[in-house]
Structure 1
């Protein structure tokens, strides 16, 4: 391999790494945004329950919490999907025990599970 081929290969590798870093940063920002969305919903739950309390209507507490909880569950599903994409972009995989390991790993260092 000539010198210029090595330089070209190095530049190509650097570009791939930069692209991977950009994608990881985007995914982390999306996850952070979703987590802030959940925090906002928690605040809305508290505000709504307090409003019902002040109005003297404690029977609405369950209804309020249930409606907002469905929204939280949907956002958490989105976060799980983004975390899976993040694992893939990093070149990792998740073991059945929940530990994240490099994709070339044959056995989980935590539980000993053998990967196919």
Structure 2
């Protein structure tokens, strides 16, 4: 790989990292906003319960409290979805047994030993050319000489190993 190719690759990697950071920051901001909405709902729940307590009839606030609780449940689902998007951007997943966050390619949890099912690999950027390992079918960067997963020597010049994002082999 020539000096200019290395510079180009470094700039490309830096741009991808910056884009990931911006997207993660936006998602975290959305999560923060939803957490504030939850705090407001918790305040309204407490206010409704206390008001009905003062009236001597706690059951009177049940409908209002249930409505607020359902909104909190919805916000929790949205937050979980945003958390999953952040993990996908970082190429991470969570152990279902002990909740440890691990890299996406981890096969067994380092905390509890739970085995992870084989998951589909994340999608590439449109138009990005990748080299597919003939041994384990892992997608590798075009400039890779050896597979990231199994270490198999890659043949970057072999057109059968090249693949575009849309699944069409390069011609």
- TM superposition score normalised by structure 1: 0.89
* 1:53-75 superposed Cα distances (whole Å, 9 cap, x missing partner): 45554331222211111111111
Q: Which residue does the alignment assign to 2:113?
A: 112
Structure-2 separation of matches of 1:62 and 1:6: 64
**Partner in structure 1 of residue 25 of structure 2:** 25
- 1:100: how far off? 1.3
Shift of 1:48: 2.4
Q: Which has the larger helix fraction?
A: 1
SS of match in other structure, 2:93:
strand
Alignment match, 2:103: 102
**Secondary structure in structure 2 of the residue aligned to 1:101:** strand
C-alpha RMSD of matched pairs (Å)? 1.6
TM superposition score normalised by structure 2: 0.62
Shift of 1:105: 1.6
Alpha-carbon separation, structure 2, partners of 1:69 and 1:94: 26
Larger CA Rg, structure 1 vs 2: 2
Residue 85 of structure 1 corresponds to: 85
Give the whole-Å Cα distance in 2 for the aligned partners of 1:85 and 1:12.
Answer: 22
Which consecutive residues of structure 1, in runs of 5 or more, have no partner in the other structure?
A: none
User: How many matched pairs?
Assistant: 116
Q: Is contact 1:92-1:100 (8 Å) kept? A: yes
